Amino acid sequence: GQNIDQPTEMTATEGAIVQINCTYQTSGFNGLFWYQQHAGEAPTFLSYNVLDGLEEKGRFSSFLSRSKGYSYLLLKELQMKDSASYLCAVKGTTASKLTFGTGTRLQVTL
């Protein structure tokens, strides 16, 4: 089975940098996704890591260490619109199925 842990809530200031951590224990691993979900909306894809290291995409970066079962999402130059839940999801080895963590609700304040 899969077990995925991430903090429940975080608060950060507009313009700052925030790091959202995700740890996982899995019986099969074929990549890790980060999704963003605004309240009342569907999740939208942010990033994907399958190899160790950092993937950068504009203000968002994601890091993976497979040996440690650890990933983080880094958000730079925070904006108010970044207030949302961030979901960590591990892809298994069957049918690209995803197992999601419970999500981290990020609140960006002035």
Partner 1 sequence: NAGVTQTPKFRILKIGQSMTLQCTQDMNHNYMYWYRQDPGMGLKLIYYSVGAGITDKGEVPNGYNVSRSTTEDFPLRLELAAPSQTSVYFCASSSVGTGGDEQYFGPGTRLTVT
Residues that bind partner 1 (CB under 8 A): 4, 8, 31, 33, 41-45, 48, 50, 87, 89, 91, 95-103
If the CB atoms of residues 13 and 44 are measured against partner 1, the closer one turns out to be 44
Cα dihedral across residues 12, 15, 16, 22: positive or negative? positive
If the CB atoms of residues 51 and 110 are measured against partner 1, the closer one turns out to be 51
Q: How far is the CB of 18 from partner 1 (least distance, A)?
A: 20
Taking each continuous run of H as one helix and of E as one strand, the counts in the chain are 0, 11
If the CB atoms of residues 43 and 69 are measured against partner 1, the closer one turns out to be 43
Q: How far is the CB of 63 from partner 1 (least distance, A)?
A: 15
CA nearest to 20, candidates 101, 110, 109 = 101
Q: How far is the CB of 24 from partner 1 (least distance, A)?
A: 12
CA nearest to 88, candidates 1, 4, 2, 3 = 4
How far is it, in rounded angstroms, from Cα 75 to Cα 60?
5
Q: How far is the CB of 95 from partner 1 (least distance, A)?
A: 5
